[in-house]
Amino acid sequence: MKVIAINGSPRKKWNTAMLLEQALEGAASQGAETELIHLYDLDFKGCTSCFSCKLKDGKSSGTCAMRDGLTPVLEKIAEADALVLGSPIYFGTVTGEMRSFMERLLFQYLAYTNPPSTTFTRKIATAFIYTMNISEEMMKQYQYSVHFGSNENYLTRMFGQQAETLCCYETLQFENYDKVVFNYFDPEMRRQRRIDVFPEDCRKAYELGDRLAVPV
């Protein structure tokens, strides 16, 4: 059993990365081999719409034809048994690096059939962990759930098993709020939430990883 986590945050030791690490620890508790990949370490671009993955009997049919820093990651995922993605929310959606990664990952498996289908030949467990600065109430008000549901839908359709979603709200953005222009909320309340609530988020991430590592 191999479980891969993809960090779409530019920070390797902060909220999103910490939760992904917890998910991988949960998977490891089931005996899984795990790997955490940081997208901001890689040199790659999003889909260039070459459609090589869609050509009949093409040498790249069903796989991304682009060759760059993301290529070995896509190859690893093709052989993995479970996949968990993680990203902070920037302006209502995932980071640009995560979005570019998702284009490359998902489009290669999308078959233009009626109805649309997948060329991925196995069923694997998938999940998405989101971290954000706002509350759950604001998330619903700003309709972020539409975006989350779309991602969940595509992961489910491409990889054949219902994807999971874990949202973590009002996360700590800075170690020292005094250094930035900030009066959006009370920093002290956010620091306290880090102590009171974030450990529970970590527990949920661990349990998610534990579930991902159980064979279908």
- Strands (E) located in 51-104: 82-88
* pLDDT, tens digit, 9 for 90 and up, residues 65-88: 999 999 999 999 999 999 999 999
Residue 190 has pLDDT above 90, yes or no: no
Number of domains in the chain: 1
Residue 216 has pLDDT above 70, yes or no: no
Which residues touch 115 (CB under 8 Å, ≥6 apart)? none
DSSP element (H, E) containing 4: strand 2-7
Is residue 164 within 8 A of residue 208, CB to CB? The reply is yes
The reported pTM is 0.93
Tell me if residue 84 falls in helix, strand or coil. Answer: strand
Q: With pLDDT > 70 as the criterion, what percentage of the chain qualifies?
A: 100
CATH number of the domain within which 140 lies:
3.40.50.360
Q: Are strands 110-111 and 117-118 parallel, antiparallel or unpaired?
A: antiparallel
Residue 182 has pLDDT above 80, yes or no: no
Is residue 15 within 8 A of residue 65, CB to CB? The reply is no
DSSP sequence for 123-184: --EEEEEEE-SS-HHHHHHTTHHHHHHHHHHHHHHHHSS--EEEEE-S----S-GGGS---S
Q: Quote the pLDDT of residue 54.
A: 92
Q: CB count, 10 Å around CB of 18?
A: 22
Residue 17 has pLDDT above 70, yes or no: yes
Amino acid at the residue 15: N
What is the mean predicted confidence (pLDDT) over 42-52? Answer: 95
Please give the residue range of the domain that contains residue 116. Answer: 2-212
* pLDDT, tens digit, 9 for 90 and up, residues 92-127: 899 999 999 999 999 999 999 999 999 999 999 999
Q: Quote the pLDDT of residue 6.
A: 98
- CA-wise closest residue to 16 among 143, 142, 129: 129
